[in-house]
Amino acid sequence: MIAFVRGIFVHKTPAQVIVDVNGVGYDLHISLHTFSVISNMEKGQLYTYLHITENGQTLYGFYEMREKELFLQLISVSGVGASTARMMLSGMKPDEIVKAIVQSNAKQLEGIKGIGKKTAERLVLELKDKLNKQAPDLSILSQADAQQYSMESDALNALVSLGIARPTAEQALKKALKSNHPTEETTLESLIKLALKNI
């Protein structure tokens, strides 16, 4: 297993980079996120994942370990292949993807090419709890952020269960969060009450 490659970036495109490692060229498939980081770099290190299928082997490269970890989480979901996961990491930043999943925002995930409604909902269903717990370890979200996102999601679900239409609930929650930025003292109950005042 190749954990990472370190060398000279001989050729770069938004989807691919060839890394010269002591005279051997490694062809890595990358996301737009990684490309944006290395676009002005002549050399560096990329974490890798070797994807093996019946049709061949593909080496994926990631500038940050957190992106690789998220990539592995994404492809663990049924219906999400390596190319789809790379497309997701090109369409949204890693922290944006985590935020959307933790907040149960399947609609935002649907905005990515190749992600349909069912796949977006499956991503939320299968990864929400995992990412909520692992986010601090992945350095994607702080513990406070993860708790806040979880609280916002719970508040939204509570409003919907009260019979409020989801779009209306989302708007009310946004207004509540904008006018009263959550603190450590903010409770789920108080957040719901604030949102109800905005409906």
Angstrom distance (rounded) from CA 199 to CA 194: 9
Who wins on pLDDT, 74 or 133?
Answer: 74
151 and 132 inside one domain: no
Q: Are residues 89 and 146 in the same domain?
A: no
Residues 124 and 190 in one domain: no
Residues 121, 175 within the same domain: no
Containing structural domain, residue 164: 142-199
Q: Do 108 and 51 lie in a common domain? A: no
CA distances (Å), 160 to each of 23, 44, 46, 55, 62, in order? 59, 48, 43, 46, 38
157 or 122: whose pLDDT is higher? 122
- Among 63, 80, 104, the domain boundary falls at 63
- 128 and 146 both lie in a single domain: no
Examine the fold and report which residue of 92, 115, 140 is the final residue of a domain before the chain moves on: 140
Asked if pLDDT for residue 19 goes beyond 70, the answer is yes
Task: Dump pLDDT digits (tens) for 87-105.
Answer: 999 888 888 899 889 888 9
Residues 20 and 80 in one domain: no
Amino acid 72: pLDDT: 93
pLDDT at residue number 93:
86
Whether residue 164 is predicted with pLDDT greater than 90 in this model: the reply is no
- Residue ending a domain, choose from 63, 91, 109: 63
Residue 25, C-beta contacts closer than 8 angstroms, at least 6 positions apart:
10, 18, 19
Claim to verify: residue 70 and residue 110 sit in the same structural domain:
yes
CATH number of the domain within which 147 lies: 1.10.8
Longest dimension (CA), the chain: 65
Query: What pLDDT score was predicted for residue 138?
Result: 45
DSSP line for 126-162: HHHHHHHHHHHHHTSS-HHHHHHHHHHHHHHHHHHHT
Domain at 13, CATH number: 2.40.50.140
Helix (H) or strand (E) holding 24: strand 24-29
Provide the number of structural domains found in the chain: 3
pLDDT band for 84, please (50, 70, 90 cuts). very high
